[in-house]
Amino acid sequence: PAQPAQTAPVTVLGLGLMGSALAAALLKAGHATTVWNRTASKTGPLAAQGATPADTARDAIEAAPLVIVCLTTNDHVRALLEPEATALKGRTVVNLTNGTPAQARELADWAAAHGITYVDGGIMAVPQMIATPGAYILYSGTDEAAFATHRETLSALADTKWVGTDPGLAALYDLSLLTGMYGMAMGVAQALALTESEGIPPRDFAPLLTDWVIAMAHGTIPGMAEGLATGQHLTDVSNLAMNRAAFPNFTSAFTEQGLRTDLFDPFQDLLDRAVEQGHGADGFSRLALLLKKD
C-alpha cells in the first residue's frame, strides 16, 4: 500500500551544505530519511536528528523509492549513480546538483535506458533558506506523473515549480535566474567600489542601491521580455544610442577613481556594436539578440 506522503521514506545522497539542509528538512517533516555521504562523518549530525546513515550508496538507494542526490557536479553524480543502475531500477532519482541542460538531458537518457525515473531540479535558495518561505525548487523531467507522486514529499524542501517535460528545462531556468543574479552582483560590486573610493560608508549607500536595483528590475525586465516576445525593440525611454553616449562617463569615472573597468568594458563593446549595426533607437531588449553567436 502507498505510504502517506508525510512519512514516505526518502534517501539523500550527498551531505554537503545543501544535502544536509535537504535531509534535515525531510526529517523535520516526518520522513524516514536514509542518508549517505562519501565522507561518512557528515552523517553524524543528521543521525542525531533521526536519519538512518547507510554504509554504502547502494544500501541508501535500496532504502527508499525516492532518491535525492545533491553533489558538487553532475560528473560526480554520473560517477556515483552509473555503477548503481540495477539498484536504482524502478526508483525515482531527483537530481538537485547544479548543472547544464545538456547534462540533465544526458542523465535522463541514461536513466531511461536503465528503467530509472529521472527528475532534474534547480534549487533557488541557499542552504539556510531550505524549508523557509520564498525558497523554491524548479523541476523538469519526462515523467510528470512520477514527479506528482513525490511532489508532496519534495514540498518539505521548498515550494515546487514544475517547468516541463524536457529534462533540461530546470537547469536552463536555474542558470538563467542565476545569470541575472550574477549580473546584479557584478554591478553592485562596481557601485560599492565607486562610492567607497570617496569614503562613502557602504552601509549608508546600500539602502539607496537596493531600492534602485529593485525599481530598475521592475522597470526593465518586463519591457525587455515584451520587446523580445513581439520583436518590437524601439523605445522612447532610454535607447541604446543614449546609453552608448553616456557609457564612457562610467568607465572614465572608474579609471579616475582608481578602479578597474574590466567588468564594464564588454558592455561598452556591446553598445558600440548595437549602434554600429543601426539599432541605436532600440531599447535593451535588442542586446539579447546581439548575444547570439553568428
Strands (E), the chain: 10-13, 33-36, 52-53, 66-69, 92-95, 117-124, 136-140, 159-164
Reading phi first (left if > 0) and then psi (alpha if -120 to 50, else beta), residue 281 is in alpha
Contact status: 98 vs ligand FVH (CB under 6 A) = yes
Minimum distance of ligand FVH from residue 241's CB (angstroms): 39
Among 47, 102, 126, 200, contact with ligand FVH (rule: CB under 6 A): 126
Contact region with ligand FVH (CB under 6 A), list: 9-17, 24-32, 112-120, 256-264: 9-17
Residue with cell 520587446: 227
Q: Give the N- to C-terminal CA distance of the chain in Å, as an integer.
A: 56
> Do residues 135 and 129 lie in contact, with contact meaning Cβ atoms separated by under 8 Å?
yes
Q: What is the CB neighbour count within 10 angstroms for residue 199?
A: 6
Q: Which DSSP letter does residue 261 get?
A: -
- Our finding on whether 16 is near ligand FVH (CB under 6 A) is yes
Q: In this structure, what C-alpha cell is assigned to residue 160? A: 515546487
Q: What is the CA radius of gyration of the chain?
A: 23
**CA-closest candidate to residue 92, choices 73, 74, 76, 108:** 108
Nearer to ligand FVH, 133 or 258 (CB): 133
Site string for ligand FVH, 28-47 (x = CB under 6 A): ---------xxx--x-----
Q: Which is nearer to ligand FVH, 127 or 223 (CB)?
A: 127
Q: Which stretch binds ligand FVH (CB under 6 A): 17-25, 84-92, 160-168, 196-204?
A: 17-25
Name the closest residue to ligand FVH (Cβ). 16
Count the neighbouring beta carbons within 10 Å of the beta carbon of residue 88: 22
Site string for ligand FVH, 148-177 (x = CB under 6 A): ------------------------------
- Between the CA of residue 4 and those of 30, 155, 253, 284, what are the distances in Å? 11, 14, 62, 50
Q: How far is the CB of 73 from ligand FVH (least distance, A)?
A: 6
User: Cβ 20 to ligand FVH, closest distance in Å?
Assistant: 7
Query: Rule CB under 6 A: is residue 17 a binding residue for ligand FVH?
Result: yes
Min CB(114)–ligand FVH separation in Å: 19
| Comparison of 137 and 274: residue with beta carbon closer to ligand FVH | 137
Asked whether 114 and 85 are in contact (CB, 8 A), the reply is yes
Least distance in angstroms from the C-beta of 236 to ligand FVH? 39
Using CB under 6 A as the binding criterion, the count of chain residues that bind ligand FVH stands at: 21
CA–CA separation, 90 vs 111, rounded Å? 10
Binding residues for ligand FVH restricted to 57-96, rule: CB under 6 A? 70-72, 76, 79-80
In angstroms, give the least distance from the CB of 169 to ligand FVH: 17
Lookup: cell for 279: 539599432
Name which position in 8, 10, 12, 18 contacts ligand FVH (CB under 6 A): 18
Give exposure, 116-138, as e/b (b: 16+ Cβ within 10 Å): bbbbbbbbbbebeebbeeebbbb
**Cβ nearer to ligand FVH, comparing 100 with 195:** 100
Site for ligand FVH, rule CB under 6 A:
14-19, 37-39, 42, 70-72, 76, 79-80, 97-98, 123, 126-127
